[in-house]
Structure 1
Amino acid sequence: MRISTPKALAVTAACALGLAACGTSSGGATATPSSTVDVGNPSAVTPVDAGTLARAKKQGSVLLYTNADEQQMKPITEAFQATYPGLKLRVLNLNDTQTFQRYATETATGVRTADVVMTTDSVGMLNFVKKGNIADYTDPNLKNLPKYAQLAPGVTAMSEDPVVAVYNTALIPKNKQPKDVTSMAQLSRSLKGKIGTTDISNPIAFGALAGYIGKHGEAGWKNIEELGPNSGVESGNGNLMQKLAQGQYQASYFVSGTVRALITGDAAKVLNYTYLTDGTPMLPRAIGITKKAASPDAAKVFVNFLLSVEGQEAACKGGFTPYRDGVKCAYGVPAIEKAVGAQNMIIGGYPDDIVKNKPAMEARWKKAFGR
């Protein structure tokens, strides 16, 4: 997901304009969930070896292509460069499709390309791996991470970001906000055109659908097909959040959980998010070192940092969802588990046959939504 700064600020701007929707919210899930949840004990530090670090310092920088925007990446960049002052992290913000296309173009012409890619597009990443574009690197941190952390050879999840429901609290009071997709589908009958989601072409939307349908099957499709005719569809979460803040939408679903970090201050007076208790899809944000990396050792140091306790805590500040034990984060996996229960978390790896099944799933979604 990418939320440009203007889009992100639109939420605050809407409140600043004095919308009626900027009333005080209370109860339910908030933008600052409990940080007192037990996050476990941090495991042993597992840095790269001395030789890799020495070569990385000679390389001097690492180039990252990511769909996360500058606001999200800033805490990570600052923490990484504070830990490794001899290494500069250069970040190029691209959507997932642009990342893969740019890499192909640059490698074909022999120009400098990404050392590391970070993406939420599971199908795109699997195809990228299949084409031989990812180095088969196993980070030392993997032995301290859950099994679902490794997504494919050389590909690791740096976070497990949930999708959430977001409401305009002035238009739908807290005690009437659905907490699951089934209730959302029922409410949509009376909210025709006033409930929103993102288009299936968005990797977040497809990942959420795949996870939800993977858990509920045809019963899940029944809810999606009831939501379809009643839902407005946006290209991305930025437009969705803006229209929620302005009251054009009253409710939304399958919204990227990275918006949680934006629902603060004035925005928290108008918007409220909740996790989905009949199944919260947790979508992995994948990282991998490219085969054509100009700074492969610097890339290893960066990936190693992202998977460390320190790196995961920095990621939390950007709205990402850390999953490693011992990471203090109000948005982390333990906090979500406390909110919905382990049985209702759909931890997203790369499901079997996701590449093969994508066209049929997209076609059925489009039929339901009249696209």
Structure 2
Amino acid sequence: MGSNPTSIADLAKTVSADPAKFKGKITTRDVSGSFGFTVSKGFVDGNPDAWSSLEKILPSARPETSSGTQIDKITSGEYLAGFFISSAVAFPQETKATGIFKFVYPKDGTVVLGRGIGITPKGPHPATAKLFLDFVLSEEGQNAVAEGGLTAYRDSVKQVEGRHTYQEIVDLAGEDAIIRVPYKVTSDADVKAFTDKWNGMLGK
């Protein structure tokens, strides 16, 4: 595909330059699923120019329900490119499929979804749960999070081969490109309006 796009806008230009080549050859996440909806709406909410790029890409795109499926179909050649793929799955694949698969943080909006953790009100062992929360948030726990394939948030966690940190994302994407998605409820009407618009543009 030539040089790798470094933004969703770059991908839009690449697709627009050769629509026939990319028709049905781009994968994105299915917005009917929670991850797909959240990352897609997060990008649109955080980038005022999002729709102008997406209207050029989505007619050539097909939705998939998981990052694993997206990556499998990219590496097999079914798709030429994909976007909104989870880094937890993409980083190991990039290492494994050197030269075939390249993962980038979009310069016009890298969506960061915080992983939620909490204690249920009726949990049988609240003290043990609190100890586990303390561990996950500690330096040791955040190193374990990174070793498990997720992104550590603490500044004290050092990025090494196979482990990734929030600061690494900032360094690669740029502070201005980070779109943090807040924990808040989206109304049913807003969900429907967004998914209808998104799906209406897809090249199904």
TMscore range, shorter length: 0.7 to 0.9
Distance 2:181 2:43 in 1: 10
Give the CA deviation at 1:269: 3.6
Unaligned runs of 5+ in 1: 1-171
Match of 1:212 in 2: 43
Distance 1:354 1:343 in 2: 24
Instruction: Give deviations 1:269-301, integer Å, cap 9, x for gaps.
Output: 421101100110101111111112122221111
Higher relative CO (Cα under 8 Å, sequence separation at least 6) belongs to 1
Distance 1:322 1:186 in 2: 33
Choose the corresponding residue for 1:333, options 166, 169, 192: 166
Distance 1:208 1:304 in 2: 28
Query: Is contact 2:68–2:89 with CA below 8 Å preserved after alignment?
Result: no
Match of 1:35 in 2: none
| Counterpart mapping for 1:143-162 below 5 A | none
Distance 2:121 2:199 in 1: 36
Query: Is contact 1:261–1:318 with CA below 8 Å preserved after alignment?
Result: no
Distance 1:265 1:206 in 2: 27
Root-mean-square deviation (CA, aligned residues, Å) is 1.9
Report the number of matched residues.
196
TM-score by length of 2: 0.88
| Counterpart mapping for 1:133-172 below 5 A | 172=1
| Counterpart mapping for 1:214-229 below 5 A | 214-217=45-48, 219-229=49-59
Instruction: Give deviations 1:202-227, integer Å, cap 9, x for gaps.
Output: 2222122222111223x211222221
Compare CA radii of gyration and give the structure with the larger one.
Answer: 1
Query: Is contact 1:306–1:312 with CA below 8 Å preserved after alignment?
Result: yes
Structure 1 segments of 4+ aligned residues over 6 angstroms from their partners: none
Distance 2:122 2:130 in 1: 13
Unaligned runs of 5+ in 2: none
Choose the corresponding residue for 2:179, options 346, 358, 361: 346
Instruction: Give deviations 1:221-268, integer Å, cap 9, x for gaps.
Output: 122222111012212111111111111111110111112342255423
Distance 1:354 1:305 in 2: 31
- The residue type equivalent to 1:182 in the other structure is A
Match of 1:302 in 2: 132
Q: 1:262 to 1:347 in 2, by over 3 A?
A: same
Matching of residue 195 in structure 1 with residue 26 in structure 2: yes
TM-score by length of 1: 0.50
Match of 1:359 in 2: 192
Instruction: Give deviations 1:319-352, integer Å, cap 9, x for gaps.
Output: 211112211135211111111211111122225x
Which SS does the other structure have where 1:287 is aligned?
A: coil
